[in-house]
């Protein structure tokens, strides 16, 4: 009888646990020398959710390609080194008399900008430099996880196309594009979309619509404009984010 009471007490205490889903992170800063004397500096930052098995498993499957955080870092290493095989990497003679490749660099950052019991929003940022190339490259993306549907949402599920004349007006207002032509006629769709408590952010990465030296084109479309183009799911996410802000 005492054992039964004890077991019931444990079950009750566990059911009353105040543990709530929360963001946890791991950072990896290290240098690694691969075969053929190829040194790479890695700076990797990863986030996930704990205290919710469903959400953490979805993140593992949809963001980290069925890997835990430590294994995903190994996946990143492998991908980076394989991609480097396509670059023309010069050698340098080190003090020990052995030839080495010049050092390459990879920064990758996956961080959660918003989550609740229905959606998780990830921002992905990367900067990488392959030794021997003219310059480094960078890329930004956003991933929207629909927890109920257990999948990533596409851009057209969040927002409908915004007319080019509106986009050009905002871009020209925020970037000094006088004298430069856009690299393509149709600006829609951007490479990434983010939803904030004040509206919608649109991101075009390097070489998407303007020359490299403009960098990432990142504009905010205010609520009075973006509200007309958000889909029902996009409006739902916007309302949730806005209500979460104190």
First to last CA, the chain: 49
Instruction: Out of 17-21, 186-190, 192-196, pick the least confident.
Output: 17-21
- pLDDT tier at 213 (50, 70, 90 boundaries)? confident
Peptide bond into 189 cis (omega under 30): yes
Which residues is 33 bridged to in the sheet?
39
Q: Please, which residues bridge with residue 159 across strands?
A: 230
Which of these, 76, 66, 64, 67, lies nearest to 30 by C-alpha position?
A: 76
**Average pLDDT for 158-174:** 94
Beta strands in the chain (DSSP E): 22-34, 38-50, 91-93, 99-101, 104-115, 119-129, 137-146, 151-152, 192-195, 199-204, 217-222
pLDDT band at 133, cuts 50/70/90? confident
Tokens encoding 21: 């889903």
DSSP lists the bridge partners of residue 24 as 48
Closest CA to 109 of 131, 141, 81: 141
Residues 27-63 pLDDT 10s: 999 999 887 778 899 999 999 999 999 999 999 999 9
Instruction: Calculate the average pLDDT of the chain.
Output: 87
Confidence of residue 181 (pLDDT cuts 50, 70, 90): confident
Q: Which residues, other chains included, contact 217 with Cβ-Cβ below 8 Å and sequence gap of 6+?
A: 171, 175, 203, 204, 208, 209, 210
Note the pLDDT of residue 11.
43
Structural domains of the chain ordered from first start: 14-153 (3.30.565.40), 154-246 (3.90.640.20)
Give the pLDDT band (50/70/90) at residue 131: confident
139 touches 126 (CB < 8 A) = yes
């Amino acid at each position: 009888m005492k054992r039964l009471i004890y077991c019931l007490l444990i079950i009750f205490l566990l059911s009353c646990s105040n543990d709530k889903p929360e963001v946890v992170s791991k950072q990896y800063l290290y240098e690694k020398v691969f075969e053929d004397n190829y040194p790479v500096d890695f700076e990797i930052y990863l986030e996930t959710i704990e205290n919710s098995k469903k959400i953490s498993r979805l993140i593992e499957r949809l963001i980290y390609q069925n890997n835990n955080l430590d294994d995903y870092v190994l996946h990143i290493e492998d991908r980076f080194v394989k991609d480097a095989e396509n670059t023309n990497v010069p050698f340098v003679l080190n003090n020990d008399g052995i030839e080495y490749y010049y050092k390459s660099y990879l920064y990758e950052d996956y961080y959660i900008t918003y989550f609740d019991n229905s959606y998780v929003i990830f921002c992905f940022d990367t900067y990488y430099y392959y030794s021997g190339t003219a310059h480094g490259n960078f890329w930004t993306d956003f991933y929207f996880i629909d927890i109920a549907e257990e999948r990533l949402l596409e851009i057209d599920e969040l927002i409908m196309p915004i007319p080019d004349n509106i986009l050009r007006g905002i871009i020209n207002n925020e970037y000094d594009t006088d004298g430069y032509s856009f690299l393509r006629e149709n600006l829609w769709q951007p490479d990434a979309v983010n939803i904030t408590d004040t509206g919608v952010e649109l991101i075009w990465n390097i070489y998407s619509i303007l020359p490299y030296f403009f960098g990432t084109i990142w504009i905010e479309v205010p609520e009075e404009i973006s509200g007309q183009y958000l889909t029902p799911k996009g409006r739902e996410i916007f309302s949730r984010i806005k209500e979460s802000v104190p």
